[in-house]
A and B are shown apart, each in its own frame.
Chain A
Amino acid sequence: MARLSQLVPSSGHEPPILVDDPFSEAVLSSPFEFQHALREAGPVVYLSSHNVYAMGRFEEVRAALVNWQGFESGNGVGLFNPRHETPYRRPPSAILELDPPIHDAPRHALEQALGPRMLTGFRDGWARTAEIMVEELLNREVIDAVADLAEAFPLKVFPEAMGIPEEGRENLLLYSDHNFNSFGPNNALVENGRAAFTKLVGWMGQQGSRESLRPDGLGARIWAKTDEGDLTAAQAAGVIRSLLIAGLDTTVHALGAIIDAFLSAPRQWELLRAEPTRARVAFDEAVRWASPVQTFFRTATRDIGVAGTKIPEGEKILMFLGAANRDPRRWDNPDQFDLNRDPSGHVGFGMGIHRCVGQHVARLEAEVVLHELARRVARIEPSGEPKPHLNNTLRGWKTLPVRLIPA
């Protein structure tokens, strides 16, 4: 929680400078050494590779995330700073890159549509889907936990729950991956994804229209807000597209992280099997441990002193959620995936007014999958070398070959 002293403008001393590029292939494929250096350098650090400020310690990251008054999103949550550069390379997201007051109405509509009590109707159907999927996977010698489970499950249930047409659903992964890349610098990841992304822009633009959505889905629930005058038509279509973009890749990488987490700590699988009610905690612990969303930028709305360092007005600050979630100042044995830990309060979903609005959806997806796996699978064993999936914002696996040993 932000202390008064952190919010008072101060002249402050100069931050330590770190020369490493957090968006390099080396750091993206294994970020822990960099994160350690970032945390140890100081509460606020200057990254000379991109001329931005950065934070990696839990307390400061959390305080800055909740301080929307001091650290705005409306100037873009990527590296690109429209105050210094023109033109803006893409339109701002319909919710992620807005500040109050225009953030209020779409945010509230999404909170209402995606609250835990609004999702109970999906549980049985999703549990049945998980049952069928796991049954099928148990018949196979080796599976790829990414393609066959972490991607397959959300692709099956999430677009369906939203109520979008079946055709083109697989486009969402590609579109979303590039979108998350575009928050970083114009590196090879962005260049390589651009052509495929450009082809999908037209398709994405058509998603979210009221006519295209099934009347019993989450998308239609958001559109119903326009009938009550709570949301404009443009806002409804915009937030639905935002959900489609932000709701799938993130969950895919989070589910991949769970499997990876249990591979790293097989004893924990026994704990979950003995006590399946720990599934929710297990998911959040995996999100803390892996931080599928690694980073987001903010912009200082005025000169702000953070732990004695001045961040000047208009400058970008890169928040390392992943580093904060493994900060030993906050977490004991942070590199351990541990079901006996209380992961509450991790910043893997962000915090404050921009905290992940779909987190209850993700938790429910993970919970039903974990329940089913815990019921049917005695052990999860590695079966080949996993390959990382590189993205400027997300951390996940491209392939994760495993063997599911039936219970």
Chain B
Amino acid sequence: MLSIKESAGETLSMRAPALETSDIQATVLRPRPKPYCGEYVVLRIGNAEQGREMLRRVLPHIAPADEWWAPSALGWLGIAFTFEGLKALGVPQASLDSFPIEFRQGMAARAAILHDFGANAPANWEYPFGTPDVHVALAIYAKGNQDLQEVLEIARKSHHDLPQIAVVYRMAFGELPEGRNPFGFKDGLHNPHVEGSGPAATTREEPSIKPGEFVMGYPDERGETANVPIPLELRRNGTFVAIRKFYMDVAAFRKYLRAQASSPEEEELLAAKMVGRWRSGAPLVLTPDHDDPSLGGDANRNNNFRYADDKKGLKCPFSAHIRRVNPRDALKDDVVATNLHHFLRRGTNYGSPLPDGVLEDDGAERGGVFLLIGAHLQRQFEFVQSQWVTDGNFISHGTEQDPLIGNNDGEGVFTIPKVPVRRRLQGLPSFVSVRGGEYCFMPGLRALRWIADLKPMMEADDVRSR
């Protein structure tokens, strides 16, 4: 499905250096398999040499982006490190010091910027999130449970005889029926197209984004190439990942819709207005009055739209989730440069679905874990979270937050533009709570080797010279 627009653009624009897909981790550039299951595993490293031994063993199994779904592969393994993890592995101080401040501080320390207050405050996160015990995050994806178990076994064998490597967290995830999220929406439909990563999989009007926004070692949208962290061997083909684990209160969502609407059709409309898409994935901008499952299921059409014809938000509210986190052309008259605020979004769901029609909470944990990937945590994830998700000023909506993932406290509002009189929903609770999160560095494959081969007491001068 090679897009005609894409190939035309390639010949006109300056050719970007081809991405070294064999050195970039698959998780960065490639969508999760369909269907999928998997597990996140968090390790704590008590001894640097044992940590590096674990890394040497697991390294041959880390999937690169070029062979991400080779028929022979059982599943695929991604690996990333927190700042504490890099320290624990013995990465030289000069390298550690060269990382951006937000990564060195970690997500929990950035709570004020991220609006992680109240129930979302790091004090309420699940262990080990937000503690110095999170060192290594492994993401394992597979097509089925048998393959998953085999990859898990590889991961286990990488450290089973290393007493200083502890498994501090394991979390299984898997696809829900019809590829929906727990709220019942098809999601994961949008990701920016990374220039040089191969042809866009689907037709889209949005321009490709320079690879340096997502992978270090290439020019970004500002024409700059990352020069930290040092040395080049460590940063080349690496990137950063903001991990967010969300609990989704499906019963609260359904109850709220029921209370606000006078018919099932109206419930569906209100839900779609909050999301910006109908349950099938069909965007409101293209079908404002009713769902269109064939549109929702058509990858060439369900993400091929802009807001130019909806400047008043009558089809898709300004405050709708997808219009906030990815405004496309909606803010083009403002000073904001939306091309500086993209990240790649890799979402997975966990927990069982709440059966259809159930309005009472069953107490089960369910939700999503999102890997938000980009080379600039501050102007990508942190900007989107602080300016677009947890505030409304950029769309002249005062302090109104994202209706779906905002940190609403029971007094949230959601504005739906309408003629002659807008509708405003009141008393929004939080439908989503943060269960935990971390900032991680996801190195390229050669960089993983560089870390694995570090010698104890490596002189910092070796690093500074490059």
To the question of whether A and B form a pair in one complex, the answer is no
The chain A residues found within 8 Å of chain B, CB to CB, are: none
The chain B residues found within 8 Å of chain A, CB to CB, are: none
